[in-house]
Structure 1
Amino acid sequence: MTGVGPAELSIETTGLSKRFGHQMAVNSVDLAVPTGSVFGFLGPNGSGKTTTIRLMLGLAAATSGSVRVLGEEMPRRLHDVLPRVGALVEGPAFYPYLSGAANLRRLDAADPLGSARTRRDRVHSALERVGLTHAADKKVRAYSLGMKQRLGIANALLAPRDLLVLDEPTNGLDPQGTREVRSLVRSLAADGATVFVSSHLLAEVEQICTHAAIMSAGKLVAQGTLTELRQAGQARIRVLTPDPGAAAQVLTRLGLNPTRGADASSGAGGPDGTGAVIFAPLPARFSGGSDDGRPADSDFSADGVVAPEEMVAALVAAGVRVRGFAAEQVSLEDRFVALTGEGFDVVQ
């Protein structure tokens, strides 16, 4: 990540490591979370995300390395930092035979900075913000998993926070609940809080986050703005045609290195417009792209590289039946797979 100084970071780790016996769960992680960002912390299960969060919040001791949260050294300044941090880590735990409101009142009472006089107002406001006022008096044992997730977020919002750390905040939520949590995260960021969201759901991160980091096997393999992460991948030409061999020959003559993807349909070459997909990676200098994630057309005319419209014209002139053509930037999912070698749970 470029252009961000220490004073502009809500979370900063240097060489952060955690070993369990012979297993290195977190391996020399240098994380930089800009103040005011919605930061997505990505990685497959077992990649070290939750352990890193526990180290950041002083819930576990690091084997080596350092952590600064809100400008303070952790865990040495833990008692100064934690009142400014709201967190939902590893799923919420509540008293099942108490109501949601009663649980929050007990948790609020444990906060030495919370005023008893305004406790009920704070609890009501937190429940209203996560859409649980209708279930405030219902016993938590009757809550669904999604409702418990919302109650956990409400607990994190009982007091004004400079930093919110949410571990899988949409776990168990239905589509409407997921949309509401996304809206809540955006509103928290708009109010000036930094929101750190750990997730394995690509759609969640792409819709709400401004920055992200990717973990793999305990190591931090990439971080930056979403645009920077996408642009680090290689742009490519995608051609849909029933004449893949001829298309590959034309693209090769144009200086590209085409490869054939999976057939778009078993009816390749049929009159319905189906065919085979041909990919041709573009030079790295074209990874800048436009605001919507696709390389800008003007980029392709530089340094003697043929522009997209000229590629199409060359394909058609050679008799290639072009059923689809796109100049596209590698997606965040593609980057994740390339960096970790693992798939991603994608919510549509």
Structure 2
Amino acid sequence: MSAAPSDSDAAIEASDLTKVFGKQRAVDGLTLTVPRGAVFGFLGPNGSGKTTTIRMLLGLVAPTSGSISLLGEPMPSALAGVLPRVGALVEGPAVYPYLSGRDNLMRLDAADVRSDAATRKTRVASALDRVGLGHAATKKAGTYSLGMKQRLGLANALLRDRELLVLDEPTNGLDPQGTREVRGLIRSLAADGTTVFVSSHLLSEIEQVCSHVAVMSAGRLVTQGRLDELRAAGERRLTVTTPDTDAARGVLTARGLAPELLTADAPDTVTAPLPAGLAVEELTAALVAAGVRVRGIAVSGETLEDRFVALTGEGFDVAG
């Protein structure tokens, strides 16, 4: 289990956070709130300021202005007390290539003055097993693949119980099975009460594991909130499959919808934007009551990719 949380309801709070490099404003007035217990996805196009933000949150880069609170404590003044409660994997792990995976972790753990030497071997073995590296514990880290090195970095972050885990591209270099395992690991950590902050360019991964999301663009925060609310903010569409397309269009128009013209490749389909608050059950009943032979009816919403492009104007291959 994670260590006992402090009184703050937020694991991460940033207010008007700004970072300027020369003439470049890498992060511009960022205000961010990450609730405790959330799996928080941090998205943005290449160069949007995500990694700079993470480095400021962890005290690796000093902000030009603004304030940061981590686990209820002000940063960077509380750095020494807060960081032992935080696990992090930022911009890929660094390893000692001539040491085994196990010896890498043993050395890193020994460097932590708060670690318990009496339980070190057990904790290292457990961390390696959790990330699927138990079988390669004695192999030199220099022979590891990129994905295995990524797993080793995750294992290092898990050597102690953490209240907050910050992961920058955690599935980088992993095969599909490894990606699936990391996804399961994130879920299990969240179930134990750990707040997980994930920066990723893989929108499908964010959709599968995250409860909350924030989107960056050109150094500024575009939106943040619950993932389901972000999706709901987009357009919903109703699709009705029926041989009675003219009648169906008449019913939908009478209910305030704007059915679109049929296309040659879907002659038995009527589609229309679905306003918020209008129940599909109500429309189905109206269609049936009007004698429309409904073969199928479905409601689709925008994907996270759709919303991302709408908010940033950029595509989704966005490792930034």
TM-score by length of 2: 0.87
Change (3 A) 1:339 1:242: farther
- 1:38–1:208 CA contact under 8 A, matched in 2: yes
Instruction: State which drifts further: 212-221 or 49-58.
Output: 212-221
Matches within 5 A, 1:292-331: 296-298=279-281, 301=282, 307-310=283-286, 325-331=297-303
SS in 2 for 1:182: helix
Aligned to 2:52: 51
Residue 48 of structure 1: CA displacement?
1.4
Asked if structure 1 preserves the Cα contact closer than 8 Å seen for 2:88 and 2:157, the reply is: yes
1:216-272 per-residue CA deviation (whole Å, 9 max, x = no partner) reads 2211111111211111223222356899999878755653334579x7xxxx44xxx
1:127 is matched with: 128
Counterpart of 2:62 in 1: which secondary structure?
coil
Separation (CA, whole Å) in 1 of partners of 2:137 and 2:35: 35
* Structure 1 portions without partners, runs of 5+: 1-5, 287-295, 302-306
Q: Is the 8 A contact 1:129 1:154 kept in 2?
A: yes
Question: Higher relative contact order by CA 8 Å / sep ≥ 6: 1 or 2?
Answer: 2
Q: How far has the Cα of 1:25 moved from its partner?
A: 1.4
Alignment: residue pair count = 312
Q: Partner amino acid for 1:55?
A: M
- CA RMSD, Structure 1 to Structure 2 (Å): 2.8
2:313 corresponds to which residue? 341
Give the corresponding residue for 1:102.
103
1:111-148 deviation per Cα after TM superposition (whole angstroms, max 9, x unaligned): 11112332222211111111101111111121111111
CA distance in 2, matches of 1:202, 1:278: 30
Which stretch shifts more, 64-73 or 275-284?
275-284
Retained in 2: the 8 A contact 1:241–1:275? no
Letter in 2 for 1:297: V
TM-score, normalization by structure 1: 0.80
Contact 2:251 2:286 in 1 (8 A): no
- Counterpart of 1:26 in structure 2 is 27
The answer (yes or no) to whether the contact 1:101–1:137 under 8 Å persists in 2 is yes
SS at match of 2:310: helix
1:283-298 pair list within 5 angstroms: 283-286=275-278, 296-298=279-281
* Matched residue type, 2:108: L
Distance 1:66 1:10 in 2: 14
Structure 1 segments, 4+ long, off by >6 Å, are 240-250, 312-315
CA contact under 8 A between 1:260 and 1:276: conserved in structure 2? no
Q: CA deviation at 1:90?
A: 0.6
Are the aligned partners of 1:244 and 1:260 in contact in 2 as well (CA < 8 Å)? no
* 2:186 counterpart residue number: 185
Give, as a single letter, the amino acid of the residue that structure 2 aligns with 1:94.
V
Secondary structure of 2:216 counterpart: strand
Per the TM alignment, residue 329 of structure 1 is displaced from its structure 2 partner at its CA by: 2.6
